[in-house]
Amino acid sequence: MINQENKSILVYVEQRESKIQNVSLELISKAKELANKANQEVVAFIPGFEINDNHAKECFQHGADKVFICNDKLLKNYTTEPFTKVSADFVKKLNPESMLIGATTIGRDLAPRVSARLHTGLTADCTSLDICEETGNLLMTRPAFGGNILATIICPDHRPQMTSVRPGVMTKHLVTEISDIKPIYVESNLTTDDLNVKVLEIVKEKIVKKNITEANVLVSGGRGLGKMENLAPLNTLAEKLGGMVSGSRAIVDAGWLDHSYQVGQTGQTVRPEVYFACGISGAIQHLAGMEESELIIAINKNPTAPIFDVADLGLVGDVNQIIPCLIEELNSLKKT
């Protein structure tokens, strides 16, 4: 039975081909942090097919207090209506204070539909979450007005307070001690009438692209490079450091890089050990995607560029002159 009196933070756990997505584990860890402040519990909900105790264990290891699993053959592949129905029905029974969903392609499809059926609001693509201990309101912060400001949004009159967060924004943490708790299996109550769309075949893209979110070193270029040809030294530097090249929206829009290599609000959120910002001014949209990097090295000829406000090391000068110098220095170090 679901205890409706015990207020909780619910995390929708996304799985694809029975593999839990990292963003869900990140959100469970963040939910645990918030729950500790508000004296609430973290509940994970995993709809799918052939989901088992091992999937639940992953959720427990990252901070979940309870895990509910909904197994059904009709949930083998994601389609909008069945997943919306089982998710909305579960939330109504649980009656949580808040609900967190990953802002993936699936999450972006699911979250607004669930919020509509629950008659509550949804704050999408948040970059920060907190809880007001006095009111219990979830403080959901996201870029607004084209990314020119950060707005903190609350939902004081409706529950649950719903938010979606992109992958990589939050950090996942392992819980050192977990008790031997078993998941709770719930019925889906789905019928074939709920399948208004049928998946005939899933075709995977054969082109394998490297994921910039997994790189330890990123050399990122911006409009300050001047022209596409000036990306070549960045590639050389990245190769020597065992990293990858990425870019700001400006050069992606210009066609210099594929969108999968874009860092920022409308691209990827990254946390490399070292992030080179080369010719990037530091608009708030870009900062939202990289400001949690361990070491940020900024190169820009404008000494008042906002990127220097978040940089650990700043070099004022022409990036097209500084990068070749760095490469030359690395070459001389290898010779010695």
pLDDT of residue 144: 76
One domain for residues 168 and 308: no
- The reply to whether 143 falls in a domain is yes
One domain for residues 60 and 185: yes
* 3-class SS of residue 203: coil
One domain for residues 51 and 171: yes
Residue-by-residue DSSP string for 255-286? TSS-GGGBBSTTSB----SEEEEES----HHH
pLDDT of residue 207: 56
Mean pLDDT, to the nearest integer, of 276-297? 89
CATH code of the domain covering residue 89: 3.40.50.620
Does the pLDDT of residue 198 top 60, yes or no? yes
One domain for residues 159 and 13: yes
One domain for residues 109 and 33: yes
Kindly report, residue by residue over 58-83, the tens digit of the pLDDT: 999 998 999 999 998 888 889 899 99
One domain for residues 242 and 277: yes
- The reply to whether 84 falls in a domain is yes
One domain for residues 186 and 247: no
CB 126 within 8 A of CB 138: no
- The reply to whether 202 falls in a domain is no
Residue 313 Cα distances to 33, 300, 316, angstroms: 31, 11, 10
One domain for residues 182 and 251: no
One domain for residues 250 and 283: yes
Kindly report, residue by residue over 276-286, the tens digit of the pLDDT: 999 999 888 88
- The reply to whether 206 falls in a domain is no
Indicate yes or no: pTM above 0.85.
no
- The reply to whether 207 falls in a domain is no
pLDDT of residue 2: 40
* 3-class SS of residue 14: coil
One domain for residues 174 and 234: no
Residue 194 binned pLDDT confidence (cut-offs 50, 70, 90): confident
One domain for residues 307 and 186: no
What is the C-alpha separation between 260 and 258, in angstroms, rounded?
A: 5
- The reply to whether 3 falls in a domain is no
Handedness of CA 168, 171, 177, 183 (dihedral sign): negative
Structural domain including 43 reads 8-194
One domain for residues 179 and 270: no
pLDDT of residue 200: 77
What domain count does the chain have? 2
- The reply to whether 169 falls in a domain is yes
Closest to 61 (Cα-Cα) out of 46, 44, 48, 36: 44
- The reply to whether 204 falls in a domain is no
CATH code of the domain covering residue 321: 3.40.50.1220
Closest to 79 (Cα-Cα) out of 40, 106, 59: 106
In terms of C-beta density within 10 A (0-12 exposed, 13-18 middle, 19 or more buried), how is residue 246 classed? Answer: buried
